[in-house]
């Protein structure tokens, strides 16, 4: 073993001793409202990037803010290299990826405290949790890695492997600049493996490495019928209602059995292996075990697949937003001119986002009355992804996680989309190990997002161990 | 004839000479933002009521503000009686009805000028129009009647018939207080006929008396699936999506042929008489002649009925608002906990609003997954209405309108719901003559609502003539 157990223990003890300082540091970045999809927060995104740049420099890295220009909104990348990462060195070279941007906070009224005023509180079960937008997704998770590096540097003066860091500011708003940025900087960013911290544990107590991810194709649809809002008494029945047209078009995207109706939607998809299904059914013995935290019990997707299969390895279609007519208090008998929906498809390996976008648009167009019009806005697309099972880093990382948590680490799927995994494979030819410490009840993207103090603490310790273990792959 | 033609001409000349003053007076009341459905405007509603009370007193009437207490929001009624209306008098007694409340103004961004800053402008065709919320519905129309009374008083010192006035402040928000108010004040409000000014011309140049009205039953529906908003990656497919459930429930309210699917929906409805259909097809020779102003050409309702039949004599179901998930700029991959729709049914005589409300709620409940819940909020209900064709006042009023406009006045239907017509019949046993001067392109309930200066001017003149004509019914 490249790293002695005495050294490893010393670094882990440093993590434990400095937890309060680590939390304070996380709170600093959580206070910056870096909502990437809202133009009003562009300056906050840059401020968060600058904070991260400083954090990397504090670790002794050379760090730069890098403007991106291929697509809007153009929030900068943060790139850092540890000194050893740039010179000649036999040790493995890891590129860590995370993102400093966060989701919007609406509806604000459902937050128990302001979303950018982080708090450490005890939940009903007595567990200590950090509550803030970005606590879990992804600022808290990014900080587990940076604090692990800090502990290594504090104790040994160096890192056990060569480390570069890439932090993105557009993960929550399409991330169209990441791939061209990777392509333009292949020489600089080429490492041996990519580490991503943006996923969840396999379950509350079982660490996991996510080896499959769903991709996503998202569209905004605006249907217009009349040229202006009408009185539903004067025109109702005779004038086409764009909300009704939209509901009709959206209602026919799914069959009664939960399948998606777009032609060719399931072409090219592989069924999960029996062993994988067995492992997952051990983690989630029934549908309620996944859904109970959401207050639900019955899987709503395709019949014949368990709830966890529906989210980890089956594609889906979700309406993420809908709007039209009068939405305020009371009633208004308007027959609106327009109606809008935001629709996303989670994709699995084998599905082509571009082709599905076209079939979706054709489906909507086919539902339009002759005198209605539709406008589509694309909101990003990425295919599903699977990690190669024979990666020489995968086994080492699983072992390190098992050591920290005291139970065998699992390989799991994720229903979420982390485009970076596919993009680093395409642009840099690298596998990505997706290791995260979030929990399903962390309410990411929702009001009162949280990150367990245990997730944060053991997350830092986990990275300390993973960095040590990867040194053995040299 | 009770009124001499010389007197009538003098009063009409007074109207012409005072038009500028009449417009100024209208502008005063248009500046009060009396949006009855929004609690924040409750004080504005009371201010508008007080303005109307003063206007009636300026006409020499005794006028009172009358609090209503049967239902929220409780905006006061304004009741005025001309001195002659209260004593013994052989002349017919008319009760004029209008409303001083207005619809909300959203979306504000589509108004070319602030909605409560009335302007007299020329439209693209050179026609002078008054633009403001309430210009047409109903403040402008109310003022046609009050200005006609003013002219009669100016010239003759009295009115040719006995006049009482009832102005409501909740017509745009359910109007639940009107019926109990009528019932409680039968002795005071009992007249010979009710005059209502809240409808449109038969077409641009043809005056009309609306003899049939659609009623309305409106519901707000909130569907909840998960207990809180979820991440569509982590739960999408497996967790029920309330927007999708709502779309499914709403999309199945109509058949492909435009009919409403609720069981028994069409029970008790009479087909329009052949003569009526012929008269209406003369006014609207094809569907586009009704729909072109809305930028549409194709009737969206039941096949087998023309666009004007679909609005004037066929019931409909409209989605007036829908909301759920992320509606802002950009994209958010949320799987929301709740989705909301506002749905209204326009009803024709023979349909029972209460029974249709129950079948609608049953339809929605049947579409729910087992672990979803629904909350319904009723927003008023009133049956459809038809005026008795043998009213002794109807022929006199038609003749007076024909005299003013130079073409035969028509009896028409209206797709809108004016509950007062049915309620005065039930409570006071009176027929209502619905005479209005709005145009289909007045954008009532929409941004840039307008009232033609010609509608206003000839509307005042029309009431001068109608009051004279009704004197002959004594």
**B218-237 residue pLDDT tens:** 999 999 999 999 988 889 99
Contact A231 B444 (CB under 8 A): yes
More confident residue, B266 or B2: B266
The answer to whether the CB atoms of B220 and A320 lie below 8 A apart is no
pLDDT confidence tier of residue B88, bands split at 50, 70 and 90:
low
- Phi and psi of A373, rounded to 5°? -130, 160
Residues of chain B with CATH 3.40.630.10: 5-213+384-473
Terminal C-alpha separation, chain B:
11
The answer on pLDDT for B269 being more than 80 is yes
Rounded CA gap, A116 and B299, in Å?
51
- Residue in A74, A107, A288, A322 to test binding to B, most B beta-carbons within 10 Å: A322
Q: A391 pLDDT band (50/70/90 cuts)?
A: confident
Element (H, E) at B128: strand B128-131
> Of all residues in chain B, what percent carry a pLDDT higher than 70?
99
Question: Has residue A53 got a pLDDT over 70?
Answer: yes
Would the CB atoms of B232 and A340 count as touching at under 8 Å? no
Say yes or no: domain B5-213+384-473 is CATH 3.40.630.10.
yes
Cβ within 8 Å of A, B 352-381:
369-371, 379-380
Question: Scanning every residue of chain B, which has its alpha carbon at the shortest distance from the alpha carbon of A367?
Answer: B256
Task: Note whether B230 contacts A308, CB cutoff 8 Å.
Answer: no
Does residue A281 sit at the B interface (CB-CB below 8 Å)? Answer: no
B-facing residues of A in 202-221 (CB < 8 A) are 214, 216, 218, 220
Task: Say whether A247 and B247 touch across the interface (CB within 8 A).
Answer: yes
The per-residue pLDDT for A243 is 98
B428, pLDDT greater than 70: yes
- Measured between CA atoms, the residue of chain A closest to residue B260 is A237
Do residue B238 and residue A380 have CB atoms under 8 angstroms apart?
Answer: no
Strand A215-224 and strand A373-382: the pairing is: antiparallel
C-alpha angle A211/A213/A216, rounded to 5°?
165
Confidence tier at A85 by pLDDT (50, 70, 90): low
- pLDDT value of position B85: 67
pLDDT of residue B188: 96
> Cβ distance B387 to B431 under 8 Å?
yes
H helix and E strand count, chain B: 16, 18
| Portion 286-305 of A in contact with B at CB < 8 A | 287, 290-291, 294-302
With CB atoms and an 8 Å threshold, state whether A447 touches B229: yes
Window 422-441 of A, Cβ < 8 Å to B: 440
A231 shares contact with chain B (CB less than 8 Å): yes
Pick from A103, A247, A340, A367 the residue to mutate for testing the B interface (most B CBs within 10 Å): A247
Q: Which residues pair with B230 in a beta bridge?
A: B335
What does the alpha-carbon distance between residue A95 and residue A97 come to, in Å, rounded to a whole number? 6
Residue of chain A whose Cα is closest to the Cα of B418? A233
For residue B2, the model assigns a pLDDT of 81
**CA-angle at A390, arms to A164 and A397, nearest 5°:** 50
**φ/ψ (deg, to 5) at A261:** -90, -10
Tokens of B269: 């409805």
pLDDT at B87: 64
Least reliable range by pLDDT among A111-125, A346-360, B243-257, B262-276: B262-276
Burial class, A330, CB count within 10 angstroms (exposed 0-12 / middle 13-18 / buried 19+): buried
CB within 8 A of B423, min separation 6: which ones?
B178, B179, B182, B382
Taking contacts as CB-CB distances below 8 angstroms, the residues of chain B near A302 are 237
Inter-residue contact B353 to B271 (CB < 8 Å): no
> Do residues B380 and B174 touch, judged by C-beta distance below 8 A?
yes
Q: Please tell me which residue, B408 or B77, carries the higher pLDDT value.
A: B77
* The pair of three-digit structure tokens given for residue A211, joined into one six-digit string: 């080896």
Q: pLDDT value at position A231?
A: 86
Inter-chain CB proximity B346 and A243 less than 8 Å: no
Q: How far is the C-alpha of B212 from the C-alpha of B385, rounded, in Å?
A: 5
Put simply, whether A123 touches B (Cβ < 8 Å) is no
Mean pLDDT of the A234-263 span: 96
Q: How does residue A381 score in pLDDT terms, banded at 50, 70 and 90?
A: confident
Q: Label residues B44-59 b or e (16+ Cβ within 10 Å = b).
A: bbbbbbbbbbebbeeb
Q: Is there a cis peptide before residue B107, judged by omega within 30 degrees of 0?
A: yes
Q: CB distance from B420 to chain A under 8 Å?
A: no
Each residue's pLDDT tens digit, B243-258:
999 999 999 999 999 9
Q: How many A×B Cβ pairs under 8 Å?
A: 372
Comparing alpha-carbon positions, the chain B residue that sits nearest to A339 is B322
Mean pLDDT throughout B395-422?
89
Supply the mean pLDDT for chain B.
Answer: 94
Provide the CATH number for the domain formed by A215-269+315-382 in this structure.
Answer: 3.30.70.360
pLDDT of residue A218: 96
* Tokens linked to B393: 């006042």
* DSSP codes, A205-251: S--EEEEEE-EEEEEEEEEE-SSS-EEHHHHTTTS--HHHHHHHHHH
Whether residues A239 and B297 touch (CB distance < 8 A) is answered with no
Residue A396: which pLDDT band, with cuts at 50, 70 and 90?
very high
Chain A closest CA to B2's CA: distance in Å? 37
Q: Where in chain B is the domain with CATH 3.30.70.360?
A: 216-269+315-382
Where does the pLDDT of residue A422 fall: very low under 50, low under 70, confident under 90, or very high at 90 and above?
Answer: confident
Name the residue among B460, B452, B440 with its Cα closest to residue B131: B452
Residue B137: alpha-carbon gap to chain centroid:
7
* Euclidean distance between CA atoms B158 and B162, whole angstroms: 9
Whether A446 and chain B come into contact, CB under 8 Å, resolves to: yes
Q: In angstroms, rounded to a whole number, what is the distance separating the alpha carbons of residues A206 and A458? A: 12
**Cross-chain residue pair B324–A319, CB shorter than 8 Å:** yes
Is the pLDDT reported for residue B452 higher than 70?
yes
DSSP string, A395-462: HHHHHHHHHHHSS--EEEEESS--THHHHHHHHH---EEEE--B-GGG-TTSTT-EEEHHHHHHHHHH
Q: Which of A237, A294, A333 sits opposite B310 (nearest CB)?
A: A237
Average pLDDT for A350-379: 97
Residue in A234, A302, A315 closest to B311 by CB:
A234
Please give the ipTM for the structure prediction.
0.75
For residue A87, name the pLDDT band (cuts at 50, 70, 90): low
Residues of A in contact with B38 (CB under 8 A): 328-330
A74: left (phi over 0), alpha (psi -120 to 50) or beta: left
Mean pLDDT throughout A422-450? 93
Longest pairwise C-alpha distance within chain A: 82
- Split at pLDDT 50, 70, 90, the class of B440 is confident
- B384 touches B348 (CB < 8 A): yes
pLDDT digits (tens, 9 = 90+) for B106-135: 989 999 999 999 999 999 999 999 999 999
Asked which of A185-194, A242-251, B207-216 is least confident by mean pLDDT, the reply is B207-216
Using the predicted structure, report yes or no on whether residue A89 has a pLDDT greater than 90: no
Task: Report the pLDDT value the prediction gives residue B1, as an integer from 0 to 100.
Answer: 65
Q: In whole numbers, what is the pLDDT of chain A averaged over residues?
A: 94
- Cβ separation of B38 and A331 shorter than 8 Å? no
User: What per-residue confidence (pLDDT) applies to A383?
Assistant: 87
CB B164 within 8 A of CB B189: yes
Phi-psi region at A57: left, alpha or beta (left = phi > 0; alpha = psi -120 to 50):
alpha
Contact A331 B291 (CB under 8 A): no
CB within 8 Å: B291 and A239: yes
Please name the residue of chain B whose CA is at the shortest distance from the CA of residue A254. Answer: B244
Is B315's pLDDT higher than 70?
yes
Which residues from B are below 8 Å from A203, CB to CB? none
> Can you name the CATH fold of B216-269+315-382?
Alpha-Beta Plaits (3.30.70)
For residue A291, the chain B residues in CB contact (below 8 A) are 235, 238-239
Q: Taking a C-beta distance cutoff of 8 angstroms, is the pair B437, B203 a contact?
A: no
Categorize the per-residue pLDDT at A272 as very low, low, confident or very high, splitting at 50, 70 and 90. Answer: confident
B74 lies within 8 A of chain A by CB: no
Question: Taking a C-beta distance cutoff of 8 angstroms, is the pair A66, A75 a contact?
Answer: no
**pLDDT tier at A174, thresholds 50, 70, 90:** confident
pLDDT at B414: 82
CA atoms of B113 and B108, how far apart (whole Å): 9
CA contacts within 13 A on the Cβ side of A83: 8
Q: Is the pLDDT of residue B394 over 80?
A: yes
Region(s) of chain A under CATH 3.30.70.360: 215-269+315-382
Taking CB atoms and an 8 Å cutoff, what residues of chain B touch A308? 238
B382 torsion bin: left (phi>0), alpha (psi -120 to 50), beta (else)? beta
CB < 8 Å to B290, chain A: 238
DSSP one-letter code for B450: E
**Facing B236 at nearest CB: one of A110, A318, A370:** A318
Sign of the Cα pseudo-torsion (B34, B36, B38, B42, in order): positive
Burial B327-351 (b: 16+ CB within 10 A, else e): beebbbbbbbbbbbbbbbbbbbbeb
CA distances from B415 to B175, B321, B382, B440 (A): 18, 19, 13, 11
Helix/strand number for chain A, H first, E second: 16, 18
Q: Cβ neighbours of residue A4 under 8 Å, at least 6 residues apart?
A: none
A214/chain B closest Cα distance in angstroms:
8
Please report residues of A whose CB lies closer than 8 A to that of B37. Answer: 328-332
The token duo for B364 is 């929605």
Cα B258 to Cα B33: distance, rounded to the nearest angstrom:
37
For residues A275-303, give the mean pLDDT. Answer: 91
> Which helix H or strand E contains A465, and what residues bound it?
helix A453-470
Of B39, B311, B336, the CB nearest to A235: B311
CA distances from A234 to A119, A238, A327, B316, B444 (A): 54, 9, 20, 11, 9
Cα A94 to Cα A464: distance, rounded to the nearest angstrom? 13
Is B371 in Cβ contact with A37 (below 8 Å)? Answer: no
């Amino acid at each position: 073993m490249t790293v002695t157990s005495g050294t490893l223990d010393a670094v882990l003890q440093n993590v434990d001793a400095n937890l309060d300082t680590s939390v304070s540091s996380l709170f600093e970045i959580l206070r910056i409202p870096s909502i990437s999809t809202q133009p009003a927060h562009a300056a906050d995104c840059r401020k968060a990037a600058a904070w991260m740049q400083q954090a990397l420099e504090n670790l002794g890295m050379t760090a730069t803010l890098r403007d991106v220009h291929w697509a809007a909104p153009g929030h900068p990348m943060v790139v850092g290299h540890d000194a050893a990462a740039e010179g000649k060195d036999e040790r493995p070279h890891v590129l860590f990826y995370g993102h400093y941007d966060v989701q919007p906070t609406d509806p604000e009224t459902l937050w128990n405290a302001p979303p950018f005023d982080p708090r450490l509180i005890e939940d009903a079960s007595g567990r200590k949790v950090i509550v803030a937008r970005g606590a879990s997704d992804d600022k808290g998770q990014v900080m587990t890695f940076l604090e692990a590096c800090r502990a290594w540097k504090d104790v040994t003066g160096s890192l056990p492997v060569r480390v570069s860091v890439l932090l993105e500011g557009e993960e929550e708003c399409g991330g169209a600049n990441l791939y061209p940025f990777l392509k333009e900087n292949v020489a600089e960013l080429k490492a041996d493996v990519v580490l991503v911290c943006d996923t969840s544990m396999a379950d509350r107590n079982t660490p996991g490495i996510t080896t499959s991810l769903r991709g996503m194709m998202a569209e905004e649809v605006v249907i217009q019928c009349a040229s202006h809002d009408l009185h539903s008494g004067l025109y109702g029945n005779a004038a086409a209602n764009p909300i009704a047209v939209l509901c009709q078009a959206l209602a026919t995207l799914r069959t009664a059995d939960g399948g998606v109706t777009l032609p060719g939607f399931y072409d090219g998809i592989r069924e999960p292996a029996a062993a994988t299904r067995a492992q997952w059914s051990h983690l989630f013995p029934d549908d309620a075990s996944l859904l109970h935290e959401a207050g639900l019990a019955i899987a709503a997707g395709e019949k014949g697949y368990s709830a966890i299969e529906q989210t980890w390895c089956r594609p889906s279609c979700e309406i993420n937003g809908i709007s039209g007519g009068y939405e305020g208090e009371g009633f208004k008998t308007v027959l609106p001119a327009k109606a809008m929906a935001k629709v996303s498809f989670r994709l699995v390996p084998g599905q082509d986002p571009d082709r599905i976008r076209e079939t979706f648009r054709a489906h909507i167009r086919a539902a339009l009355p002759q005198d209605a019009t539709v406008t589509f806005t694309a909101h990003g697309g990425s295919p599903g992804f699977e990690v190669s099972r024979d990666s020489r880093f995968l086994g080492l990382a699983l072992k390190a996680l098992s050591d920290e948590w005291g139970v065998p680490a699992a390989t799991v799927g994720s229903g979420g989309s982390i485009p970076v995994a596919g993009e680093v494979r395409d642009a840099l030819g690298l596998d990505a190990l997706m290791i995260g410490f979030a929990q399903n009840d962390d309410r990411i993207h929702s009001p009162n997002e949280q990150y367990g103090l245990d997730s944060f603490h053991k997350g830092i310790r986990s990275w300390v161990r993973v960095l040590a273990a990867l040194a053995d792959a040299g």
